[in-house]
Amino acid sequence: MAAIDHRRELDRAGANVEGWWSGALHLARRYPLGAVGGAIVVVFVLAAIFADVVAPHDPLQTDAGRSLAPPDASMLFGADMMGRDMMSRIIHGARISLAVGIGSTLLGGCIGVVIGLMSGYLLGWFDLLTQRIIDIMQALPLLVMALVMAASLGPSLENTILAISIPLVPQVARVVRSNTLSLREMPFVEAARAGGMTEWRIAVRHVLPNTIAPLIVLATAQLGSAILTEASLSFLGLGVPEPYPSWGRMLSESAAEYVRVAPWLVIFPGIAISAAVFGTNLMGDALRDILDPRERS
């Protein structure tokens, strides 16, 4: 009997896996650009997780004899001015970019959700004050505000995450507030209110879950912006400091002085930044089409 039950469980698991793969293939055929973007993001995530295994060399190991060595069989992306393997540094740089991008997106999203939910539910003076502060914050471009925050906090990994997350708050707060204002008058919310639920319980259990779809789409867009902003801050010397291998810092160290004699020092970090941002944007566009009923044909 136990063997039969175990066999049934295996059959159900196999059917679930097969159904998942068929659904994934269907989405890939329907949204090919989104599939390409998702594949690019998966490659960067796997490279970041298994960087110690995938990277052929230690990204911090210097070799004066290999300074500015061109790409060859031992170093596919060449070496920098200190003889460090560029391929290993770019692979390990994926950890920094994803850590900053995901960390700042999650932190800014959580703060924005709380502010937007409170603003849309409390209204009154709190909503008025909050929206005026958000207007002021949105008047400044993301990079300019991140520059101000990074210059005030100083260069470090944690400060870079905080400096990028704060400018991401207003957009999340606006999305959550607008959804809260439209959902708080819906019949299911009125029914929950008539059933004796408190306002905060209604907001958390009924209103917030219905804002998840637009938040997912917004988060993917903000992830690409956060990665690009981190590279810009590191390029200017205000982002992640040494010895962390940051893509933006690689460009900063080599762009002006070595671009003519060693163009690979600029080409490969630039390709990595462009591919990461391009992949997240493609994936975000596909998620918007999948999750937004108005975009479905």
**CATH classification at residue 157:** 1.10.3720.10
User: 286 and 228 in one domain?
Assistant: yes
Token representation of residue 227: 């990665």
> 68 to each of 63, 202, 244, 265, how far by Cα in Å?
10, 61, 20, 9
96 or 202: which leads in pLDDT: 96
- With 60 as the cut, is the pLDDT of residue 20 above it? no
- Note the pLDDT of residue 111: 92
- Note the pLDDT of residue 106: 92
User: 198 and 61 in one domain?
Assistant: yes
Q: What's the length of the chain?
A: 297
**Residues 278-297: tens digit of each pLDDT:** 998 888 888 877 776 555 44
Mean pLDDT, rounded, of the chain: 81
User: 20 and 117 in one domain?
Assistant: no
Query: Where in the sequence is the domain holding 17, given as residue range(s)?
Result: 1-30
User: 251 and 193 in one domain?
Assistant: yes
Exposed (0-12), middle (13-18) or buried (19+): which is 9, by Cβ within 10 Å? exposed
Q: How many CB atoms lie within 10 A of CB 287?
A: 21
User: 126 and 21 in one domain?
Assistant: no
- Note the pLDDT of residue 23: 59
User: 221 and 90 in one domain?
Assistant: yes
User: 9 and 93 in one domain?
Assistant: no
- With 50 as the cut, is the pLDDT of residue 135 above it? yes
27 or 86: which leads in pLDDT: 86
User: 235 and 165 in one domain?
Assistant: yes
- Note the pLDDT of residue 297: 47
User: 53 and 25 in one domain?
Assistant: no
- Note the pLDDT of residue 22: 66
Exposed (0-12), middle (13-18) or buried (19+): which is 141, by Cβ within 10 Å? exposed
**Residues 217-274: tens digit of each pLDDT:** 888 888 888 988 888 888 888 888 777 788 888 887 766 677 788 888 888 888 999 9
User: 127 and 9 in one domain?
Assistant: no
Contact 264, 20 (CB under 8 A): no
87 or 294: which leads in pLDDT: 87
- With 70 as the cut, is the pLDDT of residue 52 above it? yes
User: 123 and 227 in one domain?
Assistant: yes
- Note the pLDDT of residue 18: 56
User: 56 and 23 in one domain?
Assistant: no
Look at the chain and report how many structural domains it folds into. 2
